[in-house]
C-alpha cells in the first residue's frame, strides 16, 4: 500500500514544493528578520498536499483515459505507471487525490480566517488548477503551458510569501514569476516525449499544436526571461546583490537550452535534458535562497 502511495503521489518530485516554500520563507526572513515556524510548517503541509493531490488526480485520470497504456515512460515524464501494475488501486489513487485536496481546503480556509478573504484570490484558482489540470486544462494550449507555473509560482510561492509577511513586495512577485517560468518550462519539456500518445486522448498542448522545435524556442524564451527578471530585480533594488547567486545556474541552463533546441525532435537524445531541467528547477531557486540567507 505504501509503495502505491509513493508512486501515485510521485514522492520523488515533491522536493520542488519544498524549494518553493523555502524561497518564500527565506525572502520573508530577509525582508522582516522574523518568521513564524508554525506558519512555515502549516504552509509546507498545505503545499505538499496540493502537489500530491494534482499528482494523484493525474495518475487516476491518465489511467482511466487509457493514456498510461500509450505513453512511453521516462524517468521524468509519462507518469509513474503505478496503476498499470496495480489497476485495483485506482480507487485508492482517487481517494489520495480527494483527501489531499480536502487538506488543502481546510488549511487554506484556516489561513483565510487568520489573514483575510483576499487570500481566496490565490486559494480558489489553486483548487481549480489541482482538479482541472489533467481533465480540462490539458486541452487548452495556452492554459496548459502556463497553469503548472502559475500553480507553483504565482499561487504557491506568492501565497506562501503573503502568509509569512502579510503583504506582497516587488521581490515576492519577481521570485514567484521566476518559479512560474521555470515550472511551466518543466511541464512543457516533459510533454515532448508524449506528443503521439497525448494526441490519441485529445490533449492539445504546444508540442502538439506547433511542434517540438517551435516549443523548444518557447522554452528558451521563458528561461532567458527568468534570468532577465532576476537581474532587473537587483538593478531596481528589490533584491540584494547576493541573490544573483542564482545566475550560477547558467552553467546548467546554457547547455540545456542548446540541447533542447538541437534535440527537440530526437527524443532518445532529449531524455538527459529532461533530467537537467529538473535539476535546474531546483538549483536556480536554491542559488537565490543561498544569496538571500547570505544577505540576511
In this predicted model, what pLDDT tens digit does every residue of 258-282 receive, in sequence order? 999 999 999 999 999 999 999 999 9
> Is the CB of residue 177 less than 8 Å from the CB of residue 154?
yes
What's the pLDDT at 223? 98
- Stretch 5-30: mean pLDDT: 94
Per-residue confidence band for 156, with pLDDT thresholds at 50, 70 and 90: very high
In this predicted model, what pLDDT tens digit does every residue of 60-95 receive, in sequence order? 988 888 887 887 777 777 677 788 888 888 899 999
What's the pLDDT at 3? 83
In this predicted model, what pLDDT tens digit does every residue of 208-247 receive, in sequence order? 999 999 999 999 999 999 999 999 999 999 999 999 999 9
Per-residue confidence band for 1, with pLDDT thresholds at 50, 70 and 90: confident
What's the pLDDT at 94? 94
- Stretch 184-209: mean pLDDT: 93
Cα–Cα distances in Å, from 51 out to 11, 72, 104, 128, 156? 9, 23, 10, 13, 10
Domain boundaries, the chain: 2-295
* Residue 157 predicted with pLDDT over 80: yes
Amino acid at each position: 500500500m505504501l509503495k502505491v502511495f509513493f508512486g501515485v503521489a510521485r514522492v520523488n518530485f515533491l522536493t520542488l514544493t519544498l524549494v518553493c516554500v523555502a524561497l518564500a520563507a527565506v525572502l520573508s526572513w530577509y525582508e522582516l528578520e522574523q518568521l513564524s515556524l508554525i506558519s512555515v510548517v502549516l504552509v509546507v503541509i498545505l503545499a505538499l498536499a496540493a502537489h500530491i493531490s494534482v499528482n494523484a488526480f493525474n495518475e487516476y485520470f491518465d489511467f482511466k483515459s487509457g493514456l498510461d497504456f500509450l505513453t512511453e515512460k521516462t524517468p521524468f515524464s509519462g507518469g509513474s505507471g503505478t496503476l498499470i501494475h496495480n489497476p485495483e488501486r485506482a480507487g485508492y489513487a482517487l481517494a489520495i487525490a480527494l483527501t489531499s485536496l480536502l487538506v488543502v481546503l481546510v488549511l487554506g480556509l484556516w489561513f483565510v480566517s487568520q489573514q483575510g478573504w483576499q487570500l481566496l484570490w490565490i486559494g480558489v484558482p489553486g483548487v481549480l488548477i489541482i482538479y482541472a489540470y489533467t481533465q480540462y486544462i490539458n486541452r487548452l494550449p495556452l492554459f496548459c503551458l502556463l497553469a503548472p507555473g502559475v500553480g507553483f509560482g504565482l499561487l504557491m510561492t506568492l501565497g506562501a510569501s503573503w502568509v509569512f509577511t502579510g503583504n506582497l513586495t516587488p521581490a515576492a512577485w519577481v521570485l514567484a514569476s521566476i518559479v512560474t517560468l521555470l515550472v511551466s518550462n518543466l511541464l512543457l519539456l516533459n510533454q515532448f516525449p508524449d506528443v503521439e500518445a497525448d494526441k490519441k486522448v485529445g490533449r492539445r498542448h504546444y508540442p502538439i499544436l506547433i511542434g517540438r522545435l517551435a516549443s523548444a524556442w518557447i522554452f528558451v524564451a521563458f528561461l532567458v526571461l527568468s534570468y532577465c527578471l532576476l537581474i532587473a530585480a537587483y538593478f531596481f533594488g528589490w533584491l540584494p546583490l547576493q541573490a544573483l547567486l542564482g545566475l550560477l545556474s547558467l552553467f546548467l541552463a546554457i547547455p540545456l537550452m542548446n540541447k533542447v533546441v538541437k534535440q527537440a525532435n530526437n527524443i532518445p537524445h532529449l531524455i538527459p535534458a529532461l533530467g537537467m531541467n529538473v535539476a535546474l528547477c531546483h538549483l536556480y531557486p536554491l542559488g537565490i535562497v543561498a544569496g538571500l540567507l547570505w544577505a540576511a
